Every structure is written in C-alpha cells, then in structure tokens.
Amino acid sequence: MKILVINCGSSSLKYQLIDMADESVIAKGLCERIGIEGSKLTHQPAGKDKVEIEKAMPNHQVAIEMVMEALQDPAHGVIASTDEISAIGHRVLHGGKVYSESIVVDEDVKRVIRECFDLGPLHNPANLMGIEACEAAMPGKPNVAVWDTGFGMAMPEKAYMYAIPHEYYEKYSIRRYGFHGTSHMFVSGEAIKFGGLDPENAKVIVCHLGNGASVSASIGGKCVDTSMGLTPLEGLIMGTRSGDIDPAVVQFICNKEGKDVNEVLNILNKKSGVLGMSGGVSSDFRDIEKAKADGNHLAEVALDAFIYRVAKYIGAYTAAMNGVDAIAFTAGVGENDKAGRKAICSYLGYLGVKIDDEANDVRGKAAVISAPDSKVKVMLIPTNEELAIARETKRLI
C-alpha cells in the first residue's frame, strides 16, 4: 500500500510517497512560492538524483497536478499511475473543538476546516486547498485529515481552560489546543516502544525543540498538558516566538511605540524568541551557539533562557503527572544539540536524571542517552510527522 502525505502551507506544499509495506519513502518533494513569481518544484525520488522543475504554480491545484506528473514521469517518476496510491493523508492544522481523532474527509470535515479559518488563518485555508486539489486530481480516493491540534484535545479542562470570562470559550472556542500534535503523538509512542515502557501507564515528557518548540506531558500516550495554547505563541522561547509573556507587555509596547495589537503580535511571533533576545543575531540555534562561543552576551542569555524555560516546563509537567518515566528530545535542536540536551538535564538532578556523556554523543537516531542508574530514562527520538500521518491514514482506510 502506497500513501501520499501532503503538508500545505500558505505558499508551499511538501509531499512524501510512503510504501507502507516497509514504511520507506519512495519519493518526496517540495513546491515553493505557490501563487508567487518564481515557483519551483523540487522532487527527490529515492536513490535517484534530485530534479528541480521551474514552472508557474498559481495555486495549490496546479501544484498538486505537477506533483502527480513528477511522480509518474517516465524519467524521474516512481509510479506508473495514480492507481498505485491508496489514499492521501493531509496535515491539517486546526480541528477546533470538534475533532481530536484523524478522520476520512467528507463535506462535514471540510466545513469544520473552513469554520476554523479564524483559529488557523495561515494554515487551514491552505490545508483545505490541498485537500480539494487532491480530490480534483484523484477523484474517489480517500483523503484523511490528521490534526496538528488532535493530540492536545485529550487535555483535561483544568489544563486547557484559560482563566478568562467563560463566555469567550462558549462564543469563540478560546482555549488551549496545543500544536506539533502529530510529532508529540509519534515521539511519545516511539519512546514507549523504544524504552520498553508500559504502554498504558508510562508518563512521558516530549521536548519538541526546533525553530518552533513545545513540550508535552502524556500518560499512556494520552496528552495531559502541552505548552502551546490557542496559537503556537504560548510556551517555550522559540526561534522567533516569545513564548509565555505577561499580556500587559502588548499594551505597554502599543502605547510606547504607537503600534496596534496586530503589529505587536507580529513582533511576538516573528521578531522575538532567541532572534529578538540576542539583539537580532539569528533565529537559528546554531548561529546563536556560535555567537555565544564568540563572546556575545545577549546570545548567551537567549540560549540560557531557552534552556531554563524547557527545564521549568519539565518540572511543571512532572508535578502535573506526579512523576515521569521518560523524557524524549526531538526536532532540529533536540535531535542534534547534545550540549543543549545536557544543559536542560543539568536542572533535573532532583528527579534522579543522569546523562551518560558517551550515550548523549549521538544525533538523528533513536537512543537512550541517560546512564543505566538514571531514575528517568532520557531519550533521543527523531520525529517523523509524515510517517505518523501515513500510519493514521492507513489505519483509517
């Protein structure tokens, strides 16, 4: 069975064709600058050279048509016809209060995706365009929606309700949803398997540390809390996002700088985080580490604050679960930055966490990085959102 996984952004479309027999990637690629001048498709068939095709892509429908052509091309294609594709799995950002579980797309599902445009203004419209483009290109094939907010929907009320007047929850569905849900679901599940933990009761904290960053706590794979909120702005310090902040800061900057709320929210989303804290060095953690090594004090503070906040969330989530069996690091920083992992774990001695430096000298593959006598198993688990979406799609069709 072959499953096509589609992840649409407002001007991009990422795809992977996965053979579910051995979960291998047959081909993957990226359409960039959809609806903008200079659009380009980069197609990578497994074991063959990468192909770049420059052609106008005025919308996602044309992008999907180009992907279908690339997949069936006599020279760099990997399938003879779309009959070989059993189903399409879509990453959809927001299912609102309605959907927690992945679901086969029908008119009701599309209506909910549309109703959630307010909650995911950049992604939900693009996700719907991707689904409709696949429906047009491959009529009759099942499309499955896998919600980025799905994992967080298992949170109890005490974790997801904001302490604001209740009418806003009733009227506008304002609550904490959490994001990176597919990654947290995948990594917590893999951590349970890899660590040989009890699948029903294991208390796992996943630190998804990339350009966007979030922490989740789950028991037996069910989310009890996660650090992002109504939007991905809440929680950890990220590449460009501030994470947790006193909301009065927004009003203060508005008044002092003569800006409106939208402008300040844009600053908190795109110009803050380690980029803003470091005085503009970079949103890329490697650049921040280099600047710190070169003696840049603001870069050092940004990195220290990032690590400190991750450690605080781990402490909070350990309290929320009354214990923790495993901590799993994932995403760009979590999978590659051994110094960062060690620095975070250096706050966790009180939990009996002990890192094994030799075991921690690893990147990009699943590994236990804690010492044999560590009270908590610490792991590196590479995330794979596409595979998680493909597995969900296979399960549903």
232 binds ligand AMP (CB under 6 A): no
Closest CB 114 distance from ligand AMP, rounded Å: 28
Nearer to ligand AMP, 204 or 288 (CB): 288
> In this chain, which of 149, 278, 336, 370 binds ligand AMP, going by CB under 6 A?
336
Task: List, in sequence order, the alpha helices (H) in 154-247.
Answer: 157-160, 167-172, 181-194
Nearer to ligand AMP, 173 or 211 (CB): 211
Burial of 162 (0-12, 13-18, 19+ CB in 10 A): middle
Beta bridge partners of 89: 5, 144
> In this chain, which of 95, 120, 189, 210 binds ligand AMP, going by CB under 6 A?
210
Largest CA distance in the chain: 62
> In this chain, which of 9, 130, 235, 332 binds ligand AMP, going by CB under 6 A?
332
Nearer to ligand AMP, 240 or 318 (CB): 240
Nearest to 64 by CA among 24, 85, 86, 34: 34
156: three-class secondary structure by DSSP = coil
Residue 150 contacts residue 97 (beta carbons within 8 Å): no
Nearer to ligand AMP, 197 or 328 (CB): 328
> In this chain, which of 26, 277, 324, 333 binds ligand AMP, going by CB under 6 A?
333
Quote the CA–CA distance of 47 and 127 in Å, as a whole number. Answer: 29
Residue 39 contacts residue 55 (beta carbons within 8 Å): yes
Nearest to 130 by CA among 111, 110, 150, 115: 110
Closest CB 284 distance from ligand AMP, rounded Å: 4
Nearer to ligand AMP, 55 or 286 (CB): 286
Quote the CA–CA distance of 303 and 321 in Å, as a whole number. Answer: 27
**Token pair in block for residue 29:** 């690629």
The rounded radius of gyration (Å) of the Cα atoms in the chain is 21
Q: Among this protein's residues, is 361 annotated catalytic?
A: no
331 binds ligand AMP (CB under 6 A): yes
Quote the CA–CA distance of 9 and 31 in Å, as a whole number. Answer: 10
Q: Which residues of 356-374 are buried (b: 16+ CB within 10 A; e: fewer)?
A: beebbebeeebbbbbeeeb
Nearer to ligand AMP, 236 or 333 (CB): 333
Using CB under 6 A, which of the segments 121-129, 148-156, 247-255, 332-340 binds ligand AMP?
Answer: 332-340
Nearer to ligand AMP, 225 or 337 (CB): 337
Which entry of 19, 73, 148, 294 is annotated as an active-site residue?
Answer: 148
Closest CB 384 distance from ligand AMP, rounded Å: 12
73 binds ligand AMP (CB under 6 A): no
Closest CB 77 distance from ligand AMP, rounded Å: 28
Using CB under 6 A, which of the segments 32-40, 139-147, 185-193, 327-335 binds ligand AMP?
Answer: 327-335
Quote the CA–CA distance of 208 and 373 in Å, as a whole number. Answer: 25
Sheet containing 24-32: give its strands across.
51-54, 40-45, 24-32, 13-19, 2-8, 85-92, 143-147, 103-104
> In this chain, which of 77, 239, 243, 276 binds ligand AMP, going by CB under 6 A?
239
Closest CB 4 distance from ligand AMP, rounded Å: 22
The pattern of x and - marking residues 260 through 299 that bind ligand AMP according to CB under 6 A reads: ------------------------xxx--x----------
> In this chain, which of 148, 234, 325, 337 binds ligand AMP, going by CB under 6 A?
337
181 binds ligand AMP (CB under 6 A): no
Nearer to ligand AMP, 190 or 325 (CB): 190
Using CB under 6 A, which of the segments 17-25, 251-259, 309-317, 328-336 binds ligand AMP?
Answer: 328-336
The half-sphere exposure of 111 on its side-chain side, counting CA atoms within 13 A, is: 4
Nearest to 119 by CA among 143, 166, 153, 157: 153
CA distances in angstroms from 189 to 192, 328, 331, listed in the order given: 5, 10, 15
Closest CB 287 distance from ligand AMP, rounded Å: 7
Residue numbers of the site for ligand AMP (CB under 6 A)?
210-211, 239, 284-286, 289, 331-333, 336-337
Catalytic residues: 148
